[in-house]
Amino acid sequence: MTEEEAGHLPVLLDEVVEALSPKGGESLLDLTVGLGGHSAAVQDLTSPGGLVVGVDRDSEALAVASRRLDPGRTALVHGNFGDLQDLRSRLPRPDFDMVLADLGVSSPQLDDGRRGFSFRQEGPLDMRMDRERGLDARAFLETIEETELMRIIADFGEERHARRVARAIVEERSVRPIDSTGQLARVVRSVVPRSRSGKVDPATRTFQAIRIAINGELEALAHLLDRFETLLAPGGRFAVISYHSLEDRQVKEAFRLREREQGHELLTPRPLRPQDDEVNRNPRSRSARLRVIRRLGEGGAR
């Protein structure tokens, strides 16, 4: 299965490859390997002898990546970068020349109604990256207090109408269980006006907020950003693709802190964004931001 056949195009691919600048024999730790698009491009440039270690919470994505990547130079791990202690114990080496984290939800996940991520696809209300553990969105909405739900929608979705949305969800669940993506989307749309442009669905921010909450996405990112240098060999490059301001703010602050503390060089003073032609091919790339930092060599050498 190719990326195009799977309905997924790796975001900012050329920019990621240029920023990571892979060389023959180097190693890549892809913490969100997904369908393997970024990893495959890097792997092509690290032969002979290069190693790709791909990590993902989604076992279905790992199955696709295993068919895409060179099995002789690839190791795949079912895991979560939010638990680095456990993850590191299962990696084949202690540090890497390149580390990549693409924080987005892949197009196949969004487009597969069974996964419950999309307000455009009717399906069970799930939203878990790893369907083998944790509460799904249906159970989450069934038990959460209204005030906490309002906070999550406001903080994680940056939704101005969070109070109104939380109230509508609580009222709906008091009448009938909210167990499908379509039902949740209709509830949100009933109380949130459309944007003036009409391009952004009123349910977008609420779905984002619930997904972030049940997957612990911001906590996992904070954990990674606090410890990423332990994964980098001297001279190693770390690239992060974020998709909304909450993530990008965390990455920006963490990278600037590392640069001020010395020992690291910021390779992207400003985040790299997709070119117009990429956005035209893949509208979901529109909000992507790429930031890259490099660990300096021993003794701070560049």
Domain ranges within the chain, ordered by starting residue: 13-108+218-300, 115-215
Judged by average pLDDT, the poorest of 50-59, 134-143, 194-203, 207-216 is 194-203
List, in order, residues 6 or more apart from 45 with CB less than 8 Å away: 17, 22, 23, 24
Identify which of 17-31, 103-117, 274-288 has the greatest average pLDDT.
17-31
| Per-residue pLDDT tens digits for 229-256 | 999 999 999 999 999 999 999 999 999 9
CA triple 144-112-14, angle to 5 deg: 105
- Quick one: which H or E segment has residue 260? helix 245-260
Residue 113: what pLDDT? 80
List, in order, residues 6 or more apart from 64 with CB less than 8 Å away: 1, 6, 35, 36
Portion of the chain with pLDDT greater than 90, in percent = 77
Report the pLDDT averaged over residues 275-279.
94
Report the pLDDT averaged over residues 78-101.
94
**CATH superfamily of the domain spanning 115-215:** Putative methyltransferase TM0872, insert domain (1.10.150.170)
Q: For residues 178 and 138, is the Cβ–Cβ distance under 8 A? A: yes
- Report, at the CATH architecture level, how domain 13-108+218-300 is classified: 3-Layer(aba) Sandwich (3.40)
Report the pLDDT averaged over residues 269-286.
92
Report the pLDDT averaged over residues 74-88.
92
Q: Say yes or no to pLDDT of 205 above 80.
A: yes
Q: For residues 121 and 111, is the Cβ–Cβ distance under 8 A? A: yes
Residue 4: what pLDDT? 41
Helix 245-260, helix 217-227: angle, nearest 10: 10
* Cα(64)–Cα(81) distance, integer angstroms: 20
* Cα(255)–Cα(270) distance, integer angstroms: 11
Mean pLDDT of the chain: 91
